[in-house]
Structure 1
């Protein structure tokens, strides 16, 4: 849904809510989690409700990991995302630094984590809005399972991912394993993360995160439509 806008200057507070919840995921980084049977196999419900997987949607089989390389650009055609990617580290509080607010159409990638195409989940973060207009991941909550995500890498390859799960995770019931851990061992995966849930005008912040999960289903040379 469209995000309401607060007064000028609220941007950093708004971003802080979104990225603070990443602390739990980073604390659990490298921890083995269960295979996640049932994750994405049916619509999600309750306070981590989002679209889940619509019944009857057939998803392609996973492609074997192709090894990692730094991402340069990310595309999600179904929601109109076509954006440059910049590597980001951790801020002084230990959370992933978001892209600068001066670059609202840029996506951040956690550069000390998994590279897209390698086994495990690669983390991508983007703003949902600024003080005055929508930002790069404004439409992320509208993503549906089966949607394609393409990551152009520094090695000239394009890693092709398929969305298999979309959730809105509230701070009160946040599950770091579910958000950041691998959904299935042995797969190359990614997460797309932004603000979500309810916007509080008083604090200029959101109370949840939209987390889109996808897995590698193909790869090709840049400029080549074939696999």
Structure 2
């Protein structure tokens, strides 16, 4: 996302013990995790990407994800070297207590190629060392091309 300076290597991720998409380790906070159980970027369905907003010492790959606005583009370079370009449709913070996986991860329009980018959001709770919610950026495929 050149508009906000977000760029990083993408690594394949599964689910953690709680059933959430496993984020990259904090030691690799510049990496973006792609949920391999979902759609591939540009294919029908929802391609899910997760990344850290920060670490104890510094900002991480999705630190500026909250600066993304509807209408901006997200470009994903796929394993085959082609690009999938998505247009941001919605940016929202979802409280962890109200997190509805089907609403967050589900398709907004049936058969459409979509993307979700997730990181921590809401207020930081120092005693818990966590945030109260998740920032979710949703978009839809607008074009594909070569690297």
Report the TM-score, using the length of structure 2 for normalisation. 0.96
Q: Residue by residue, what CA displacement relative to the aligned partner does 1:169-200 show, whole Å, maximum 9, x if unpaired?
A: 01232232321110111210000000000111
Could you tell me how far 1:79 is from its partner in structure 2?
1.2
Name the structure where strand makes up a greater proportion of residues. Answer: 2
Q: Which residue in the other structure is 1:149 paired with? A: 74
Pick one of 126, 129, 140 that aligns with 2:65: 140
Could you tell me how far 1:94 is from its partner in structure 2?
2.7
Report the TM-score, using the length of structure 1 for normalisation. 0.63
Unpaired runs of at least 5, structure 1? 1-75, 223-227
Q: Which residue in the other structure is 1:55 paired with? A: none
Aligned-pair Cα RMSD in Å: 1.0
Distance 1:93 1:178, change over 3 A: closer
Tell me which stretches of 4 or more aligned residues in structure 1 moved more than 4 Å.
none
Q: Which residue in the other structure is 1:125 paired with? A: 50
The question of whether the paired residues in 1 share the 8 Å contact of 2:70 and 2:89 is answered with: yes
Distance 1:217 1:197 in 2: 29
Distance 2:133 2:31 in 1: 21
Give 1:26-41 correspondences, 5 Å limit: none
Could you tell me how far 1:204 is from its partner in structure 2?
0.9
Give the number of equivalent residue pairs: 147
Unpaired runs of at least 5, structure 2? none
Q: Secondary structure at the match of 2:3?
A: helix
Q: Residue by residue, what CA displacement relative to the aligned partner does 1:129-173 show, whole Å, maximum 9, x if unpaired?
A: 001100000111111001110010111210111001001001232
Larger radius of gyration, structure 1 or 2?
A: 1
Distance 1:207 1:190 in 2: 23
Higher relative contact order (CA 8 A, sep 6+): 1
Q: Secondary structure at the match of 1:78?
A: coil
